[in-house]
Amino acid sequence: MSLSLNRPDRRDGLRRLFRHPAEMLSSRAIRTQAPPISWLMQQAVEVEGLISLAAGLVDRASLPCARVQALVNEILADPEAGRDALQYGTTPGHHALRDLVRARYCAGTAYDDADQVVVCTGSQQGLELLGEAIYDPGDIVIVEDPTYFVYTGVLESFGCDIRGVASDADGMQVDQLALLLDQLRASGELARLKAIYVVSYHQNPGGWTLSLERRQALMALVHGLPEQVLLIEDAAYYELAFEPDQRPPLMATMDASGDRVASFLTASKPFAPGLKTGFMVVPPRLVAAVVHLKGNHDFGSNNFAHHILARALATGVFDEQVADLRAVYQRKAQILSEALHRELPAGSAQWAESSGGLYLWLQVPGVDTGPDGALFKACLEQRVLYVPGCYAFAPEPGRSKPSDRLRLTYGVASDEELVEGARRFAAALLSLGV
Amino acid sequence: MSLSLNRPDRRDGLRRLFRHPAEMLSSRAIRTQAPPISWLMQQAVEVEGLISLAAGLVDRASLPCARVQALVNEILADPEAGRDALQYGTTPGHHALRDLVRARYCAGTAYDDADQVVVCTGSQQGLELLGEAIYDPGDIVIVEDPTYFVYTGVLESFGCDIRGVASDADGMQVDQLALLLDQLRASGELARLKAIYVVSYHQNPGGWTLSLERRQALMALVHGLPEQVLLIEDAAYYELAFEPDQRPPLMATMDASGDRVASFLTASKPFAPGLKTGFMVVPPRLVAAVVHLKGNHDFGSNNFAHHILARALATGVFDEQVADLRAVYQRKAQILSEALHRELPAGSAQWAESSGGLYLWLQVPGVDTGPDGALFKACLEQRVLYVPGCYAFAPEPGRSKPSDRLRLTYGVASDEELVEGARRFAAALLSLGV
């Protein structure tokens, strides 16, 4: 979003924008900042010929135009189905879709109830709604360090007190979490703890998946916590596992109590982001609160998209697309990683090979990867963009943030752009004398 | 939304739901109630063969299946356009759509800037986002009495202090508003006033349109208020004027300051609710706050729907649909009104003929129209549903609510159902000895 700075008649508007915010704006609006990614996106637009290895968009060539066209034609050529899809839906979403989501992700578990599935405008809306349902300013939320930086922005917007727990190749270090919980218990802060948030598959930005052992240990820890503490599982990349058979189970399906986990899934990454449809699976005690808040927000997301996706899931078209995308991203992850290995001086950077999702998480020892550092500047000169790692570390005062990490994505760039992007990135790094 | 009460394994879930809300839920969630309309909708589902003259859905037969199918085929058959539509969009919405909205509603006014248009998940999301941007608990918001009851629910959810101003066939009585403002000034409460909310065309539930004279007087009053006070114009029924040439201008277009009005429009009523797309036009000083909050909510509504609607607006298909719908609703309004005149005893009820929108607002002198009253019960026995007027009056302590009003809609019922619904309504009224 940019105001047209070059138009004189809008300068008054800009003055107004900054003149008296405190009088007009709510306390939440004052706490809500533009996400750092906005600035990155702006760079991507302004630098001509730039290759973005930063933007979290999906692969363009594999977007399912023909599949969606066929589904829409099936729906709209049938007057009854067409009218159902173009009429208002209901607040929690199209029931057939909720039931297909239940069957796909929760069958046979303590969450096996379509009434606990709420369809949202992307999983992001689910995260926001759940936050509205449970957070008051001052509530403590524990996140992985690093974590999904859009969610820390949401937490700051709610006035939450964010605490980070170190993560490694197996995800959140649950023994470190246990230590933090002991500290909160000792300091009397445990009553303020509301949630533990994990991105549990092919994490953004780290790329790792929370291992089965860690999942079991995490679940046990959560069951020992006061009842108000919820485990929030952001499973946005669940479907994009290159080897789905080796994928550990969703946290919700491991919670025999049926009461402690909210899992978030999406059709954006594994099908089509333009349909902007995600799913939340919540414990019974939160259904009413979330649905009432959603009633205020929109009394139901885009019903047409719900009908398209229900048909995609019911007919197997969704699975076909997912299978195609797994192959696409596995190929693209390999292209980017191989190009980096080829172009970068040995030892100048480390990263783990991707097992799914959209990201590589690089450490570049001794190099400041921040937005004001030399590497970021050199990359802009070379016309390649990455996400500085500093954005992803928990904004917890006193907690140190490594300055030598960065996120690359193989999602949106073409095969050729990935190779050229890696070449430019290496040229930028070399220009620093690394 | 209903939990499956008949399944024993879910009863535990329900117990949990009600056991410890205060521990788990945020203060906003605790303030947020199920809208009364949910209960009405539940009746509609449970009473077999019921004719709903209550639900605010749109006419089913006229939903634009063929038009949307043609638009989607044009978009998805073109790989570039198709991929643009199925990729992620941007937080404020598809730029071409924002510019078409600007051109349609704001050209030549102080709001003539696509950057001030934000595309939302229905206009309802816009109302919610604006509320988040400006309301803190205790803020005063003035509404028409009666007003759109979903919005008073939103205001209660934000903890706002709601004040009503009497309305008549020309809309909000602006002289009464002036008196209320004087009272707020005298009591020192004016600093807490944040907004004045009007449904400005074919009001829900009253059916009236705010007259040009009242608009001018209202605009003048707003310009005399402290800068933090915003005029919120809900123009959901703007396009559904039966005589659009006689429609007064949007409030935003009358605000030469460019700084005091937020107008809300929608494609749901005049095109297709299933696409769930609405528009807000806001002053420059609120753009950043609204867009940053929307970044937390969903970082952009359904992009596919934006592309469909942009093409509908650009090609004239939107106008074709609007023209068809005006004729449909004018016919249906007349069918319902004539059937009521025919079936009801003379003098038993009064209403104004509709000039647009979806509603008739009836006064039934001497009859309690409330959900616990005899008429509502008699109507359920006759299998016809209306919206009790009491839901629509301002929830302001000490303010009297007329008990003899009700809302009927000719939106969703077929021509035959309208006639039969009127017959059943009359039978219910006659059964009370009226």
For the residues B88-97, what does the mean pLDDT come to? 96
pLDDT in tens, B129-151: 999 999 999 999 999 999 999 99
d(CA B410, CA A55) in angstroms, rounded, equals: 47
Q: Which residues of A touch B113 (CB under 8 A)?
A: 4, 10, 13
Comparing CB atoms, the residue among A63, A91, A304 nearest residue B305 is A304
Which structure tokens are listed for A76? 């709209």
Best of B297, B307, B309 to mutate (most A CBs within 10 Å, chain A): B297
Q: Does residue B274 contact residue A88 with C-beta atoms inside 8 Å?
A: yes
Classify each residue of B379-394 as buried b or exposed e, where b means 16 or more C-beta atoms within 10 Å of its C-beta. bbebbbbbbbbbbbbb
- Does the distance separating the beta carbons of B26 and A1 come in below 8 Å? no
Query: Sign of the C-alpha dihedral, residues B111, B112, B114, B117?
Result: positive
Q: Does the pLDDT value for residue A10 go beyond 60?
A: no
Asked if pLDDT for residue B5 goes beyond 60, the answer is: no
CB spacing of A283 vs B19 below 8 angstroms: no
Give the residue-averaged pLDDT of A401-417: 97
What residue in B sits closest to A156 (Cα-Cα)? B296
* Chain B residues touching residue A34 (CB < 8 angstroms): 288, 291-292, 295
- Identical fold at B18-63+321-431 and B86-317? no
The structure tokens listed for A427 are 């040229």
Q: Do B1 and A288 touch (CB under 8 A)?
A: yes
Contact status, residue A209 vs residue A201, Cβ threshold 8 Å: yes
Alpha-carbon distance B98 to nearest alpha carbon in chain A (angstroms): 12
* pLDDT given for residue A43 in this prediction: 73
From the list A10, A69, A133, which residue is nearest B284 (CB)? A10
Yes or no, beta carbons of A305 and B300 under 8 Å apart: no
CB-CB neighbors (< 8 A) of A63 in chain B: 82-83, 86-87
Lowest mean pLDDT segment, chosen from A99-113, A285-299, A411-425, B34-48: B34-48
B335–chain A nearest CA distance, Å = 22
Cβ separation A113–B4 shorter than 8 A:
yes
Question: Residue written as tokens 């944040």?
Answer: B194
Residues in chain B closer than 8 A to A35 (CB atoms): 292, 295
Domain residues of chain A, as ranges? Answer: 13-63+321-431, 65-315
Residue B219 Cα, gap to closest chain A Cα (Å): 19
CB A356 within 8 A of CB A237: yes
| pLDDT 10s digits, B201-254 | 999 999 999 999 999 999 999 999 999 999 999 999 999 999 999 999 999 999
The alpha carbon of residue B151 is apart from the nearest alpha carbon of chain A, in Å, by 8
What average pLDDT is seen over chain A? 93
Residue A276 Ramachandran class (φ > 0 left, ψ -120 to 50 alpha, else beta): left
Closest B-chain CA to A135? B26
10 Å Cβ neighbour count for A46? 10
Q: Is B383 left (phi over 0), alpha (psi -120 to 50) or beta?
A: left
Q: What ipTM describes this predicted complex?
A: 0.94
Note the pLDDT of residue B16.
38
Q: How far apart are CA B318 and CA B323, in angstroms?
A: 9
Interface test with A, best of B2, B14, B32, B42 (most A CBs within 10 A): B32
- Cβ separation of B293 and A28 shorter than 8 Å? yes
Q: Which of B125, B298, B318, B328 to mutate to test the interface with A (most CBs of A within 10 A)?
A: B298
Q: pLDDT value at position A201?
A: 98
- CB contacts of B298 in chain A (<8 Å) are 120-122, 124-125, 128, 276
A10 interaction partners in chain B (CB closer than 8 Å): 113, 115, 284
Give the nearest partner residue to B296 out of A63, A73, A157, using CB atoms: A157
At residue B23, the pLDDT reads 74
Closest Cα in chain A, distance from residue B121 (Å)? 6
A274/B135 touch (CB, cutoff 8 Å), yes or no: no
CB contact under 8 A, B299 and A58: no
Let me know: does A392 contact A149? Beta carbons within 8 Å. yes
Max CA distance (Å), chain A = 66
The pLDDT tens digits of the residues spanning B298-315 come to 999 999 999 999 999 999
Interface contact A1-B115, CB threshold 8 A: yes
Q: Among A32, A82, A297, select the one facing B65 at the smallest CB separation.
A: A82
State the Cα–Cα distance between residues B223 and B209, nearest whole angstrom: 21
Contact (CB<8Å) B65/A87: no
- The mean pLDDT value of chain B amounts to 93
B295/A132 touch (CB, cutoff 8 Å), yes or no: no
Which pLDDT belongs to residue A119?
98
Contacts of A125 in chain B (CB under 8 A): 297-298
* Gap from B146 CA to chain A (nearest CA, Å): 19
Whether pLDDT at A253 is above 60: yes
pLDDT digits (tens, 9 = 90+) for B53-74: 998 889 999 999 999 999 999 9
Q: How far is B210 from chain A (nearest CA, A)?
A: 25
CATH topology of domain A13-63+321-431: Aspartate Aminotransferase, domain 1 (3.90.1150)
Residue of B nearest to A154 (CA): B296
The third-level CATH classification (topology) of the domain covering A65-315 is: Aspartate Aminotransferase; domain 2 (3.40.640)
Nearest Cα of chain B lies from the Cα of A290 at a distance, in angstroms, of: 8
Percentage helix, strand, coil, to 5, in chain A?
50, 15, 35
- Asked which of A182-191, A248-257, A394-403 is least confident by mean pLDDT, the reply is A394-403
Tell me what pLDDT residue B274 has: 98
Q: Decide if B262 contacts B286 (C-beta within 8 A).
A: yes
Give pLDDT, residue A20: 41
A204, A298, A307, A328, best to mutate vs chain B, most B CBs in 10 Å: A298
Share of chain B above pLDDT 90, in %: 89
**pLDDT at position B12 over 70:** no
Cβ–Cβ gap A4/B113 under 8 Å: yes
Helix (H) or strand (E) holding A243: none
Q: Are B408 and B424 in contact (CB under 8 A)?
A: no
What pLDDT, in 10s, does the model give residues A187-203?
999 999 999 999 999 99
Contact: B21, A289; criterion CB under 8 Å: yes
Nearest chain B CA: its distance from A81 CA (Å): 9
Total beta-carbon pairs less than 8 A apart between chain A and chain B: 326
Whether residues A302 and B28 touch (CB distance < 8 A) is answered with: no
What proportion of chain A, given as a percentage, has pLDDT over 70?
95
What are the chain B neighbours of A272 within 8 Å (beta carbons)?
86, 304
Identify the three-state secondary structure at position A160: coil
Name the residue of chain A whose CA is nearest to B74's CA: A69
Q: Can you tell me the mean pLDDT for B357-376?
A: 97
Mean pLDDT of B281-299: 96
Nearest to B57 among A87, A92, A228 (CB): A87
Output the CATH code of domain B86-317.
3.40.640.10
Provide the β-strand partners of residue B193. Answer: B140
What are the angstrom distances between the C-alpha of A32 and each of A73, A293, B44, B121? 41, 19, 41, 20
Question: Which CATH class for the B18-63+321-431 domain?
Answer: alpha beta
Shortest Cα–Cα distance, A258 to chain B (Å):
8
Residues of B in contact with A83 (CB under 8 A): 60-61, 63, 65
